[in-house]
């Protein structure tokens, strides 16, 4: 199955067992960063230490361009034959923004709104981190299309923690 899976941290062990992804992206604050799960190849696990914020705050690490480059370059090394798992603490903000960015990177320009709408349909709880989206939009040269697409999404359903969400690449045209 060629898909991006987005989960909260609590669902990572079961998702690894059930879906057997080939690549893993972890987006957690430095205080809660995890080690590579036992048995998973460390070279296929990207660990991004970043707080879930959109404005600078003392003692916290906001997403920045280097994080986006790292995420997108890592994802470009994924052949899509097996799933990629992207997770953050709750599976709502950092991981959803990263999955959206990866999907946009793989899709042609002009697909941003369709991808955002499909993201909302599959994940009513998704609330993509706007700073990650804005940085990815700039890096990919999308001239604000990614930001506008996310801004046009219906409001997210509030949840304490997201659930496992599958984003099959074929259904996104990528």
d(CA 13, CA 114): 31
- Structural domain includes residue 117: yes
| pTM for the structure as a whole | 0.97
Span 52-111, pLDDT tens digits: 999 999 999 999 999 999 999 999 999 999 999 999 999 999 999 999 999 999 999 999
Domain span at residue 42 reads: 3-164
The answer to the question of residue 84 being in a domain is: yes
User: Does 172 map to a domain?
Assistant: no
Domain-embedded: residue 139: yes
Asked whether residue 174 is assigned to any structural domain, the reply reads no
Q: How many domains does the chain have?
A: 1
127 part of a folded domain: yes
- Residue 26 belongs to domain with CATH number: 3.90.190.10
């Amino acid at each position: 199955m060629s898909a991006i899976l987005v989960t909260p941290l609590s669902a990572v062990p079961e998702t690894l067992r059930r879906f057997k992804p080939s690549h893993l992206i972890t987006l957690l604050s430095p205080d809660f960063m995890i080690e590579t799960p036992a048995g998973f190849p460390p070279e296929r696990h990207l660990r991004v230490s970043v707080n879930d914020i959109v404005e600078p705050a003392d003692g916290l690490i906001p997403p920045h361009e280097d994080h986006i480059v790292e995420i997108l370059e890592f994802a470009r090394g994924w052949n899509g034959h097996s799933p990629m798992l992207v997770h953050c603490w709750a599976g709502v903000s950092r991981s959803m923004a990263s999955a959206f960015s990866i999907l946009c990177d793989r899709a042609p320009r002009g697909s941003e709104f369709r991808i955002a709408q499909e993201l909302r349909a599959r994940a009513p709880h998704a609330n993509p981190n706007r700073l990650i989206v804005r940085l990815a939009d700039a890096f990919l040269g999308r001239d604000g299309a990614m930001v506008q697409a996310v801004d046009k999404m219906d409001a997210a359903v509030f949840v304490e923690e997201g659930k496992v969400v599958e984003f099959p690449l074929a259904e996104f045209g990528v």
